[in-house]
């Protein structure tokens, strides 16, 4: 049975516990909708995610409680699991994220101290003209790009002097009007749009200012965001190490709160506790001298294939597998940890392999650029349990893998946005929202009383139902 099929009917977290968790949205992050469009709120999660991606909040794990348990008992369990989320939110609240919009505005104000305040780069325009064929004819106005448009083009590595590249529909000689810039004024009753008013400085000065701004910002901004998580504080600890400790606490609590033995039995809970107490291979070697019975921890990789083409193995950044070797005739026990999705035990390696093959949504853990390059209909199968350096603590390692993915995803999103020609505000918003899935990996799983009440979803809900782990 696959990971997803075990818990495909998990409802949303009771009584809107997220609000009690002290969720702290990042700058410019819209409030997340509380509406559900289907089991587990899959529709709301997808709406809150970047285009083409399913939100990870749609992939919630299931923690079950006996049907006879009182509402108070369930609430107590929820409150226990909310605490690590509060701690994680406190860490995220201290992380300042880069803002290309704010950087550009401050640089403009510094370069042009006499510019009217407040500066709105979307309302300062240049004019692009097409040279007339004859001296008697007037040059034609082709476009009036805003300073914000030109800055985001420069940020994206495009040449703002390549006017034919920007305006391929206009043949002949194109040039920036050498006069002053223009400001977009307030609309009047006699005008349909906002009129252009004389600006305060020359076009050439503004172009010179834009050219001296840093280009290829996709790489720099993505690196800055990750750097904030790996920079030590005054006590010598990095936020990513703190988040690793929080993940350990969260997984330990999830194991203790799980009442459904088919998801996590007594032996699996003991295995989770052993890894939590001894989170590196070196720690485990000291605590368990017998190598044959020593608990182990591994990374996880998958193998993608499409038709007859098989792609190189792909490591899933964040997930890991805990293993308790079998003794005698007993096989090994495995517990798969998917950050933000929960814990699930498997009685054999074959069960684990079968579940991975039956859970295509695990590909969501891959970097977005990799996902985009894989053809439609790509199948993912179990590839290997990957070794982890002996002195590496698995929980911090899991978080660091997610940070590496975050950096790649942010760079990829910004590069794609630059190719599309988005506004500076949208470019800035992508940076602000890019860490959302990473933050959500610290949300607690959902609770449901078992056995769950029978439910007959409609056809549309069945076809749209995402996998949960």
End-of-domain residue from the set 153, 186, 213:
213
> Is 229 found in the same domain as 185?
no
pLDDT band at 24 (very low <50, low <70, confident <90, very high): very low
| Separation CA 448–CA 260 (nearest Å) | 10
For residue 180, what pLDDT is reported?
86
Task: Assess if residue 258 is contained within a domain.
Answer: yes
Task: Assess if residue 435 is contained within a domain.
Answer: yes
Residue 15 has pLDDT above 50, yes or no: no
**Tens digits of per-residue pLDDT, 172-189?**
999 999 888 888 754 433
| Separation CA 145–CA 152 (nearest Å) | 11
pLDDT band at 58 (very low <50, low <70, confident <90, very high): very low
**Tens digits of per-residue pLDDT, 156-176?**
999 999 999 999 999 999 999
| Averaged pLDDT of the chain | 81
Q: What is the mean pLDDT of residues 219-247?
A: 96
> Is 414 found in the same domain as 272?
yes
End-of-domain residue from the set 213, 235, 259:
213
- Show Cβ contacts of residue 175 under 8 Å, excluding neighbours closer than 6 positions: 128, 129, 131, 163
| Separation CA 333–CA 325 (nearest Å) | 6
For residue 194, what pLDDT is reported?
57
| Separation CA 133–CA 343 (nearest Å) | 71
- Show Cβ contacts of residue 320 under 8 Å, excluding neighbours closer than 6 positions: 297, 298, 299, 300, 337, 388, 394, 397, 398
Domains held by the chain: number: 2
> Is 131 found in the same domain as 276?
no
Task: Assess if residue 469 is contained within a domain.
Answer: no
> Is 14 found in the same domain as 41?
yes
- 3-class secondary-structure state, position 458: coil
> Is 450 found in the same domain as 301?
yes
Provide the residue range defining the domain that includes 120: 101-213
> Is 455 found in the same domain as 310?
yes
pTM of the shown model: 0.79
Residue 29 has pLDDT above 70, yes or no: no
Instruction: Render the burial of 213-248: b for 16+ CB within 10 Å, e for the rest.
Output: bebebbebbbebbbebbeeeeeeeebbbbbbbbbbb
pLDDT band at 12 (very low <50, low <70, confident <90, very high): very low
Q: What tokens appear for 63 in the block?
A: 């923690």
Q: Which residue has the higher pLDDT, 132 or 62?
A: 132
Of the candidate ranges 178-192, 193-207, 380-394, 450-464, the one whose mean pLDDT is the lowest: 450-464
pLDDT band at 416 (very low <50, low <70, confident <90, very high): very high
Q: What is the mean pLDDT of residues 104-112?
A: 96
> Is 196 found in the same domain as 121?
yes
Provide the terminal-to-terminal Cα distance of the chain, rounded to the nearest Å: 12
């Amino acid at each position: 049975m696959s990971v997803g099929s075990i818990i495909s009917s998990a409802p949303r977290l009771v009584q809107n516990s997220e609000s009690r968790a002290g969720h702290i949205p990042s700058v410019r992050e819209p409030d997340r909708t509380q509406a559900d469009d289907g089991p587990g709120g899959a529709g709301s999660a997808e709406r809150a995610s970047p285009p083409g991606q399913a939100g990870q909040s749609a992939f919630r794990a299931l923690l079950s409680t006996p049907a006879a348990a009182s509402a108070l008992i369930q609430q107590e369990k929820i409150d226990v699991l909310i605490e690590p989320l509060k701690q994680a939110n406190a860490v995220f609240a201290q992380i300042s994220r880069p803002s290309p919009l704010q950087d550009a505005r401050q640089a403009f104000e510094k370069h042009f101290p006499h510019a009217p305040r407040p500066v709105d780069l979307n309302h300062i325009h240049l004019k692009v003209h097409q040279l007339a064929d004859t001296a008697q004819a007037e040059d034609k106005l082709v476009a009036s790009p805003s300073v914000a448009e030109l800055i985001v083009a420069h940020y994206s590595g495009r040449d703002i002097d390549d006017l034919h590249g920007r305006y391929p529909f206009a043949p002949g000689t194109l040039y920036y009007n050498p006069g002053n810039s223009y400001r977009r004024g307030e609309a009047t009753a006699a005008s349909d749009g906002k009129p252009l008013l004389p600006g305060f400085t020359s076009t050439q000065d503004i172009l010179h200012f834009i050219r001296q701004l840093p280009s290829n910002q996709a790489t720099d901004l993505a690196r800055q965001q990750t750097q904030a998580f790996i920079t030590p504080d005054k006590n010598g600890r990095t936020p990513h190490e703190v988040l690793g400790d929080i993940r350990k606490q969260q997984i330990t609590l999830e194991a203790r709160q799980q009442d459904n033995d088919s998801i996590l039995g007594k032996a699996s809970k003991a295995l989770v506790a052993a890894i939590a107490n001894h989170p590196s291979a070196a720690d485990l070697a000291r605590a368990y001298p017998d190598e044959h019975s020593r608990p182990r921890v591994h990374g996880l990789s998958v193998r993608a294939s499409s038709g007859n083409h098989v792609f190189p193995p792909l490591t899933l950044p964040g997930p890991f597998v805990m293993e308790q070797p079998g003794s005698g005739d007993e096989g090994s026990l495995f517990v798969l940890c998917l950050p933000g999705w929960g814990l699930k035990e498997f009685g054999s390696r074959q069960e684990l392999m079968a579940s991975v093959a039956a859970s295509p949504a695990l590909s969501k853990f891959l970097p977005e650029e990799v996902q985009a390059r894989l053809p439609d209909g790509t199948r993912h199968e179990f590839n290997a349990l990957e070794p982890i350096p002996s002195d590496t603590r698995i929980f911090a390692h899991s978080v660091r893998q997610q940070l590496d993915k975050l950096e790649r995803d942010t760079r990829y999103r910004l590069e794609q946005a630059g190719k599309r020609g988005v506004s500076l505000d949208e470019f800035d918003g992508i940076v602000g929202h890019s860490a959302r899935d990473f933050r959500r990996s610290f949300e607690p799983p959902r609770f449901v009383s078992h056995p769950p009440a029978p439910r007959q979803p409609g056809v549309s809900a069945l076809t749209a139902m995402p996998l949960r782990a």
